[in-house]
Structure 1
């Protein structure tokens, strides 16, 4: 009886381990025939052009994929290809004071992303991703506050892109 129980336990354990073949702790489900990705430069086509955010977004997207998958970054002929453009960058007041001035402002950034899976065209995606950062109405969005706002927005957008393309959330 012990031999049968041991055999059943061994088979169950082996089957459980085998079923987790393409799972990762980040939630990414990358097919075994995918080994590289490329992120083409995301141009800033927003009506208001903030210098440097195009390069910063491109690098942020590369970093999140490198950190959360085992894929290798390449400049051309990637198995997965990301491209697109920054389409919105604007600041708008969201609350007002009794003196008709802004009590709080919101920076919003939107990015149009095109994703191509060269091994499985059914996974291709084109989608717009957007996020915002709120800050005080009397503050100027410059220096370290601007950097913090951009970092918060890009962290959220790149995670959303990752989830939509690789984690399938």
Structure 2
């Protein structure tokens, strides 16, 4: 058992000092990348939720802060930049229920909140890593959106930032 632990510690030490980009969370950040800029993601969707832009932008910054060694800086100083906009925010029915009144339209039994973010990632030192892509995530709910909207947005932002982070730093598609 001691031998296995020794080999594991030695492997991690060698990886860290050999110039590899290595982290335990799956991120692969080049050792020369030190800074990143996360620009404000404007809400350009037809339906605008007042705090959605701020919540999404901060969620992306927090994911970077908590899972990398990168320092978030302003434009011009950054080794890489995230920019973009929220392009879609929709609520659609996913199942309907008939009403007892034949003249009344059916009512939504369950609905789906969808958020799409257009993201541009620019890496100053390795242009092969640049991308521009739409990311969409959804959450299903029942009942009134008003009482659930902020929690749904929080969960969708978590999923979106995970996908964006993985695309930029783990090269997962």
TM-score (structure 1 length as normaliser): 0.86
Tell me whether 1:23 sits opposite 2:22 in the alignment. Answer: yes
Query: Runs ≥4 in structure 1, deviation > 6 angstroms?
Result: none
Unpaired stretches in structure 1, ≥5 consecutive residues:
1-9
Unpaired stretches in structure 2, ≥5 consecutive residues:
1-5, 100-105
Instruction: Give, in whole Å, the separation in 2 of the partners of 1:42 and 1:121.
Output: 22
TM-score (structure 2 length as normaliser): 0.85
Equivalent residue for 1:112, pick from 108, 118, 129 = 118
Equivalent residue for 1:154, pick from 154, 157, 166 = 157
- SS class of match (1:33): coil
Residue pairs, 1:136-155, within 5 angstroms: 136=142, 139-143=143-147, 145-155=148-158
Structure 1 residue 122, shift from structure 2 partner: 1.0
The number of residue pairs the alignment matches comes to 157
Instruction: Give, in whole Å, the separation in 2 of the partners of 1:49 and 1:15.
Output: 50
Aligned to 1:97: 97
What RMSD in Å do the two structures reach over aligned CA positions? 2.0
Instruction: Give, in whole Å, the separation in 1 of the partners of 2:61 and 2:133.
Output: 18
